[in-house]
Amino acid sequence: MSGISVGQAIVLGIVEGLTEFLPVSSTGHLKITEGLMGVPVEDRAVIGFTAVIQTGAIAAVLVYFFSDIVRIVRAWGRGIADKDERYHHDYKFGWWVIYATIPVVIVGVAADDLIHGPLASLWVVAGSLIGGSVVMWLADRYGRHKRGEDDTSLSDAMLIGGSQILAMLFPGFSRSGATISTGLLLGLDRVAATRLSFFMGIPALTGAGIYELPSALTSGAGALPLIVGTAVSFIVAYASIAWLLKFVAGHSFTSFVVYRVVIGLLLFALLGAGTLHA
C-alpha cells in the first residue's frame, strides 16, 4: 500500500466526525467510503488510520462535555479520599464507566484477529446495519422513556457500556446505536440514553486509537494524513454532537432507522453487483 493521501484523510475525517456519534455506524460508513475510494479496508495501515482519527471525535466529546467530565472526576477524586463523599452519584458514575469498559477491553484484545479479519467484511457491515436497525426501532418504539441520567445504576452502566461489544464484533451495528438502544430498552429517555452513550464511548474509543497508533504510523498511513484526518474529525464531530442532542430532545430515532436500512440494502446491492468488494 502507498498510504492514505491528505485528500482521502479529509474525506474520511468528515465521515468519521459525522457518523461516530450518530447511530448509523461510523465503522460501516468508513468501510464503505474506503471501498468507494479504492482504499483496501483490510490493510493494517487503514485499520490503524480509522482507529486513530476516532480520537478526534473523542476529543470533541471531551471539549463538549468538559464541565460534566470535570464534575464527575472531581466527585470521583473526593470519594477516593473521603468515604463520606461516596454517596454522590457522580462518584459512583466514575467507577461505573471504568467497570463497564473492562469487558469491552477484554473482548477487543481477545477477538482482535477476528474483528480485523472475517468480521471486517462489508457483507457483515451490510447485515449489521439492517439488523441493528431492527433493534433500534424496537428499543425506540417500546422503551418507556421515563428515566433520566440521575436515575441510572451500576447495572444500567454495565449493560450500556457492554453493548459496545456488539459494534466491535459486528461493524455496521454501530457503537452509539447499540448503547443508545440499550439505554432505551432500560427505560431511559432519549437524551439520557444519548448522553450516556457519549460518556461510555470515551475510554473505549480512546484506548482503541492509542492501541492502533503504532500500527498506523509504521505501516504506511503517514503522519500528515493522520493529523489532518483527526483534526477534521474533531471539528465535524463537535457539530454532530451538538446537533444530535438537540434532535433527540424532540424527535424519535425513526429517521436513523430508515437511513440505516437504505444504506444496508444499497451496500448489499453494490456488493452483489461487484461495484464494491467485501
**Phi, psi at residue 147, to the nearest 5°?**
-100, 140
Of 176, 175, 170, 181, the closest CA to residue 244 belongs to 176
Amino acid at 34: E
Please tell me the distance from the alpha carbon of residue 40 to that of residue 225, in angstroms, as a whole number: 16
Q: C-alpha grid cell for residue 10?
A: 479529509
Would you tell me how many other CB atoms lie within 10 Å of the CB of residue 16? Answer: 29
Q: C-alpha grid cell for residue 159?
A: 449493560
Please tell me the distance from the alpha carbon of residue 210 to that of residue 223, in angstroms, as a whole number: 14
Residue pLDDT, tens place only, 43-82: 767 777 887 888 898 899 999 999 999 999 999 999 999 9
Please state the length of the chain.
278
pLDDT reading at 1 higher than 50: no
pLDDT reading at 262 higher than 90: yes
Residue at grid coordinates 422513556: 145
Please tell me the distance from the alpha carbon of residue 103 to that of residue 209, in angstroms, as a whole number: 17
pLDDT reading at 196 higher than 50: yes
Please tell me the distance from the alpha carbon of residue 237 to that of residue 60, in angstroms, as a whole number: 6
The domain spans of the chain are 6-273
Would you tell me how many other CB atoms lie within 10 Å of the CB of residue 89? Answer: 15
- In the three-class reduction of DSSP (H, G, I as helix; E, B as strand; rest coil), residue 187 is classed as coil
Residue pLDDT, tens place only, 165-194: 998 899 888 889 999 999 999 999 999 999
Please tell me the distance from the alpha carbon of residue 205 to that of residue 32, in angstroms, as a whole number: 20
Model pTM score: 0.87
**Phi, psi at residue 188, to the nearest 5°?**
-75, 150
Q: How high is the mean pLDDT of the chain?
A: 88
Question: Are 253 and 190 within 8 A, CB to CB?
Answer: yes
Residue pLDDT, tens place only, 121-130: 889 989 999 9
Q: What is the crossing angle of helices 190-218 and 154-162, to 10°?
A: 50
Please report the sign of the dihedral spanned by the C-alpha atoms of residue 49, residue 128, residue 183, residue 232: positive
Residue at grid coordinates 451495528: 173
Higher pLDDT, 74 or 120: 74
Higher pLDDT, 111 or 222: 111
